[in-house]
Amino acid sequence: MRVPILKQGNYLIASIQSALSDYELLQLRDDLAAQVGRFRSKGVIVDVTVLDIMDSFAVRTLRAIAQIARMRGSETVIVGIQPEVAFAMVQLGLALGEVETALDLEEGLALLELRTKQGGSRDSQS
Amino acid sequence: MDGKKRERETRTKNQDPEKRESSYESLTGPVIPESTAALLRELVSHLRENRTQLREEWARRITESQLLLAMTKEEIFKEATAVYDNYIAVLETGSVEALEAYARDLSERIIPRGVETREVLGIVLLLRDVLARSLFKKYQADFALLNRVLDAYEPAANRIANTVGVGFVQERERIIRQQQEAIRELSTPVLQVRERLLILPIIGVIDPQRARQLTEQLLRGIRANRAKVVVIDITGVPAVDSMVANHLVQTVDASRLMGATVIVTGLSSEIAQTLVTIGVDLTKMKTVGDLQGGIEEAERLLGYKVNMVTQSTDQIAAAK
Amino acid sequence: MTAKAEIHIPINSDSDIVTARQQGRALAQEMGFNGSDLTVISTAISEIARNIVEHAKSGEIILNAVNSPGTVNSPGKIGLVVIARDKGPGIADIALAMQDGYSTGKGLGVGLPGSRRLMDEFEITSAPGIGTTVTMKKWKR
Ligand SMILES: Nc1ncnc2c1ncn2[C@@H]1O[C@H](COP(=O)(O)OP(=O)(O)O)[C@@H](O)[C@H]1O
Ligand SMILES: [Mg+2]
B123 contact partners, CB below 8 Å, separation of at least 6: B58, B62, B67, B68, B80, B83
Q: What DSSP character marks residue B16? A: -
Q: pLDDT tens for chain B, 320 residues: list them.
A: 444 444 333 333 333 443 333 444 444 444 455 677 888 888 899 999 999 999 999 999 998 988 888 888 888 888 889 889 988 888 888 888 888 888 888 888 888 888 888 888 898 889 989 999 999 999 889 888 888 888 888 888 888 888 888 888 888 888 888 877 777 666 677 888 888 999 999 888 888 888 888 999 999 999 999 999 999 999 888 888 888 888 899 999 999 999 999 999 998 888 888 888 888 888 778 899 899 999 999 999 988 444 444 444 444 444 44
- 3-state SS, residue A78: strand
For residue C60 and ligand 1, the question of a CB distance below 6 A is answered with no
What average pLDDT does range A18-26 have in this prediction?
94
**A97: containing domain:** 5-119
**Closest Cα to residue B27, out of B123, B96, B99, B87?**
B96
**In terms of Cα–Cα distance, which of B265, B256, B250 is closest to B214?**
B250
Q: Is A62 exposed, middle or buried (0-12, 13-18, 19+ CB in 10 A)?
A: buried
pLDDT of residue C72: 62
Three-state DSSP class for residue A104: coil
How many CB atoms are closer than 10 A to CB A98?
A: 10
Nearest to A42, CA basis, from A77, A10, A78, A79: A10
Residue C123 has pLDDT above 60, yes or no: yes
Q: What is the 3-state secondary structure (H, E, C) of B46-96?
A: HHHHCHHHHHHHHHHHHHHCCCCCCCCHHHHHHHHHHHHHHHHHHHHHCCC
Question: How many contacts (CB atoms, under 8 Å) link B and C?
Answer: 21
Within a domain: A125: no
SS3 C62: strand
Distances (CA, A) of A49 to A52, A71, A106: 8, 26, 13
For residue B298, what pLDDT is reported? 94
State how far the Cα of A74 lies from the Cα of A60, in Å rounded to an integer.
18
Q: Which ligand is nearest to the CA of C59?
A: 1
**Contact yes or no for B217/B249 (Cβ under 8 A):** no
Q: Is B66 exposed, middle or buried (0-12, 13-18, 19+ CB in 10 A)?
A: exposed
For chain A, the domain total comes to 1
**Cβ-proximal residues to A29 (8 Å cutoff; 6+ apart), any chain:** A61, A64, A65, A68
Model confidence at A125: pLDDT above 80: no
Q: In whole angstroms, what is the distance from residue B242 CA to residue A3 CA?
A: 42
Tell me the whole-structure pTM to 2 decimals. Answer: 0.70
The whole-number average pLDDT for the span A94-120 is 86
**Rounded distance, CA B301 to CA B189, Å?**
23
Residue A62 inside a domain? The answer is yes
Tell me if A113 is assigned to some domain.
Answer: yes
Ramachandran angles phi, psi of A53, nearest 5°: -150, 155
pLDDT tens-digit series, residues C84-109: 999 999 999 999 999 999 999 999 99
Q: Where are the alpha helices (DSSP H) in C52-129?
A: 94-97, 111-118
pLDDT of residue C74: 66
Give the DSSP letter string of C5-28.
PPEEEEE-SHHHHHHHHHHHHHHH
Is the residue at A124 inside a domain? no
Residue B199 one-letter amino acid: I
Cβ–ligand 1 distance for C112 under 6 Å, the answer: yes
Residue C4: its pLDDT value, please?
59
Amino acid sitting at position B146 = L
Tell me if A90 and B250 make a contact (CB, 8 A cut-off).
yes
Query: Is any ligand 1 atom within 6 A of the Cβ of residue C52?
Result: yes
CA distance A124 to chain C (A): 43
The answer to whether B250 contacts A125, with C-beta atoms less than 8 Å apart, is no
**Mutant choice from C22, C43, C47, C102 vs A, greatest count of A C-beta within 10 A:** C43
- pLDDT score for B4: 41
Q: Which residues pair with C62 in a beta bridge?
A: C8, C83
**DSSP symbol at C55:** I
Mean pLDDT over each residue of chain A, to the nearest integer: 91
Give the whole-angstrom CA distance, residue C21 versus residue C25.
6
| Residue A9: inside a domain | yes
Residue A95, chain B, CB below 8 Å: the answer is yes
Q: Based on C-alpha coordinates, what's the Rg of chain B?
A: 31
Cβ under 8 Å to B: C residues 54-83: 70-72, 75-76
Is any atom of ligand 1 closer than 6 Å to the C-beta of C107? Answer: yes
Is the shortest distance between the CB of C114 and ligand 1 below 6 Å? no
Domains defined along chain C, listed by start? 7-68+75-139 (3.30.565.10)
Q: Please tell me the distance from the alpha carbon of residue B268 to that of residue C106, in angstroms, as a whole number.
A: 41
Distances (CA, A) of B210 to A70, A85, B238: 40, 19, 14
Packing angle between helix A56-71 and helix A22-39, nearest 10 degrees? 10
Task: Tell me whether residue A126 is in a domain.
Answer: no
Neighbours of B, requiring at least 3 CB pairs below 8 Å, are A, C
The span from the CA of B121 to the CA of B123, in Å, is: 6
Verify whether ligand 1 is closer than 6 Å to residue C131 (CB atom): no
Within chain B, where are the H helices? 2-15, 17-20, 25-28, 34-49, 51-64, 73-93, 97-110, 117-139, 143-187, 208-225, 242-257, 269-277, 291-306, 313-319
Contact between A75 and A117 under an 8 Å Cβ cutoff? The reply is no
Strands B229-236 and B197-203: parallel
CA B119 to each of CA A64, B75, B158: distance values in angstroms, whole numbers, following the listed order: 65, 15, 17
**Edge to edge, what strands does the sheet with A11-15 contain?**
A5-8, A11-15, A43-47, A75-79, A100-102
Interchain CB distance below 8 Å, A84 and B216: yes
Chain C positions contacting chain A at CB under 8 Å are 14-15, 17-18, 21-22, 25, 35-36, 38-40, 42-44, 46-47, 50, 100, 106-108, 110-111, 113-115, 117-118
Complex ipTM: 0.92
Q: Which atom of ligand 1 is nearest to the CA of C98?
A: 17
Coil vs helix vs strand at A109: helix
pLDDT score for C42 = 97
Rounded distance between C-alpha atoms, residue B213 and residue B7, angstroms? 39
8 Å CB contact between B225 and B196: yes
Q: Looking at residues C107-119, what average pLDDT do you find?
A: 96
Taking the C-alpha atoms of residue C102 and residue A96, their distance in angstroms, rounded to an integer, is 18
Which residues does B contribute to its contact with C (CB < 8 Å)?
2-3, 6, 97, 100, 165-166, 169-170, 173-174, 216
Residues of A in contact with B305 (CB under 8 A): 110, 114
Is A81 part of a structural domain of the chain? Answer: yes
Selecting from B2, B165, B170 the residue whose C-beta is nearest the C-beta of C76 gives B170
Query: Cα separation of A84 and C39, whole Å?
Result: 6
CATH classification of the domain holding A83: 3.30.750.24
CB contact under 8 A, C71 and B216: no
CA distance C48 to C115: 8
Query: Measured between CB atoms, which of A95, A101, A103 is closest to B226?
Result: A103
| Euclidean distance between CA atoms B212 and C60, whole angstroms | 32
> What's the average model confidence in pLDDT over A49-78?
96
